[in-house]
Amino acid sequence: SRLTEAERTPSRLPSTAPPASGSFVWDDANALSARTIRELDERNDRLWDRYSVSIGVVTCNYDRDDLDEYAMQCAEDMGLGGYDMIVTLDISGENYWLIQGNDIRRDFTDDDCSDYAYECMEFSFAREDYDDAVLELTKALEDWYGDYYR
């Protein structure tokens, strides 16, 4: 379930305030290179221009069992919508989570989220190559959107 503003205190969740740039890439764990962030921003620009969708990417040091709830809160704070997706990488917790918007849930299921995240990210994530992990996943998701909107 989503937390209300009153429940979302600094002791409960890390800050999910958006950066001044308005980017959908929040590298709070400083795990991504500047080049990767630029590529992700360019990918999101293409996705927005072509399909009016975005893929949020968050790195954090959350280290708790409810990463899915944290990812949902980040998606909400980013202003992501029903056709968007978000991937959250918990660096210190050695975990990641991909969530799809409600409007595409029938076509991109929870199992698809798990499969895409694992197949695209697991090997690189285990090697702590977070750049390759998010670039491979977001490329695969960009391709999925291309097929979906064909």
pLDDT of residue 129: 98
Residue-wise pLDDT for 100-122, tens only, equals: 999 999 999 999 999 999 999 99
Query: 18: exposed, middle or buried (C-beta count within 10 Å: 0-12, 13-18, 19+)?
Result: middle
Cα of first residue to Cα of last residue in the chain, in angstroms, is 34
Which residues face 90 on adjacent strands?
A: 60, 95
Beta strands in 66-113 (DSSP E): 85-90, 95-100
With a CB cutoff of 8 Å and minimum separation 6, the contacts of 52 are: 83
pLDDT classification of 22: cutoffs 50, 70, 90? low
Residue-wise pLDDT for 84-103, tens only, equals: 999 999 999 999 999 999 99
pLDDT of residue 7: 37
Distance set, CA 42 to CA 17, 129, 135 (Å): 22, 20, 11
Torsional sign, CA 106, 42, 146, 141: negative
Give the span between the Cα atoms of 39 and 60, in whole angstroms. Answer: 19
